[in-house]
Amino acid sequence: MSSLTITGVTKSFGSGASATRAVDDVTLHVPHGSFTTVLGPSGCGKTTLLRLIAGFLVPESGAIAFGDTVVVGDGVRPMPPQTRRVGYVPQEGALFPHLDVAANIAFGLPREARGTTGADRVAEMLELVELPADFRDRRPDELSGGQQQRVALARSLAPAPAIVLLDEPFSSLDAGLRGSTARAVRRALAVTNTTALLVTHDQNEALSLADQVAVMRAGRLVQSAAPSEVYLSPSDPQVAEFVGRAVVLPGTATDARATCALGEVVLTEPATGPVALMIRPEQVFVDLAHDEGVRGTVEEVSYYGHDCAVQVRLDEGTSVLARMAGVRRPGPGDTVHLRVTGLVRAYHPAGAP
């Protein structure tokens, strides 16, 4: 097992005016034994990045290293995929339908290791991905989608790969199965201390599973940081709106504070002059009992059980989204008072210092 270091990697498809720069000067480090999720909208280059790491594609510039070994880069002949020791788990359909679970898991093992050692390894891998030992004799069509994805992970981990790449492995599963399968996969990767990169366009998945979230947009890596940093201090308002709901309001900053339609807020970092303020809806406190804060009228309430989203039109005209526990909630037409809790991230307008 090893760390993964991607330095200035670029890959285009096509040529001339119709060329697409699918991955554009991406630099990213994934520490040994850690888990990074690559988050971005459809077509931003996530799968292309995985394919470059696996060796199915070769970059036109930049370098990729596993630990100290450069697998592709300037003056280095690209190491072929089969010798990179990469495990790959695709969206679905990774398993051979005519082979049983044991044969699927043992498939990637060296031929000489497929006998008794192979049987031990299969048993070990089934336990690792939290599946019963007697599943070994089942065929893939006798398993649920979530179980199939666990077997796919078991197969990718059996040969003890340097790095595991997962390309939207839970996207074909329904919501309940998705969460439990994702957590089981995460546990298996942690137990084996495997360096892993998972591609997703699901914000919740990216934030809840990862040590590090790498956000991509139009081929570029726009931020890579711990999940809480990406959520609470996104690199720009577009990232803010991509990794969750955000209220973005114009404001005026003076050092550690700023004023906006929601009153005075405290900033994560000092700023001066006109700014865009990024406030998470759960930071907007909805006061039903007192008249402290900025007054507004509830326009719409969406109830989700564990919490609810409340759209409020402030008296001065701005519409703001708040998120609160669903136990005691206002109704449309009610007068409420809003105030902001916690720190707020300020962005200077494009072009401003």
Q: Interacting stretch for ligand ATP, rule CB under 6 A, among 45-53, 114-122, 284-292, 293-301? A: 45-53
| Rounded-to-integer distance, Cα 102 and Cα 42, Å | 35
Q: Is 332 near ligand ATP (CB under 6 A)? A: no
Question: Between 19 and 76, whose beta carbon lies closer to ligand ATP?
Answer: 19
Query: If binding is defined by CB under 6 A, does position 40 make contact with ligand ATP?
Result: yes
2 vs 48, which CB is nearer to ligand ATP?
A: 48
* Closest alpha carbon to 254 in 236, 266, 239: 266
**Can you tell me which of 15, 42, 83, 116 binds ligand ATP, judged by CB under 6 A?**
42
CB of 173 to ligand ATP, least distance (A): 16
Tell me how far apart the alpha carbons of residues 240 and 3 are, in angstroms, rounded to a whole number.
28
Cβ contact 164:191 at 8 Å: no
Task: Please report whether residue 224 would count as binding ligand ATP according to CB under 6 A.
Answer: no
- From 36-44, 116-124, 232-240, 301-309, give the range in contact with ligand ATP by CB under 6 A: 36-44
Which residue number, 46 or 155, has a Cβ lying nearer to ligand ATP? 46
Closer by beta carbon to ligand ATP, 21 or else 329: 21
Binding to ligand ATP by residue 303, rule CB under 6 A?
no
Which stretch in 35-43, 123-131, 149-157, 285-293 sits in contact with ligand ATP by CB under 6 A?
Answer: 35-43
Contact call for residue 47 and ligand ATP (CB under 6 A)? yes
Contact region with ligand ATP (CB under 6 A), list: 29-37, 39-47, 75-83, 113-121: 39-47
Interface residue with ligand ATP among 84, 178, 201, 280 (CB under 6 A) is 201
Whole-number minimum distance, CB 141 to ligand ATP, in Å? 26
Minimum separation from the CB atom of position 69 to ligand ATP (A): 25
Give least dist CB 182 to ligand ATP, A. 17
Per CB under 6 A, the segment of 42-50, 106-114, 235-243, 311-319 that binds ligand ATP is 42-50
How many residues make contact with ligand ATP (CB under 6 A)? 13
10 binds ligand ATP (CB under 6 A): no
What burial letters (b/e) apply to 243-281, b meaning 16+ CB within 10 Å? bbebbbbebebeeebbebbbeebebeeebeeebbbbbbb
Query: Applying CB under 6 A, which of residues 35, 36, 45, 209 lies at the interface with ligand ATP?
Result: 45
Stretch binding ligand ATP (CB under 6 A), from 13-21, 112-120, 245-253, 345-353: 13-21
Do 166 and 152 form a contact (C-beta atoms < 8 A)? no
Q: Which of 19, 27, 43, 117 binds ligand ATP (CB under 6 A)?
A: 43
- CA 323 to CA 302: how far, in whole Å? 10
13 binds ligand ATP (CB under 6 A): yes
User: Regarding beta strands 195-200 and 163-167, do their DSSP bridges make them parallel or antiparallel, or are they unpaired?
Assistant: parallel
Whether residue 82 contacts residue 249, with contact meaning beta carbons closer than 8 Å, is answered with no
Q: Which residues of the chain form contacts with ligand ATP (CB under 6 A)? A: 13-14, 20, 22, 40, 42-48, 201
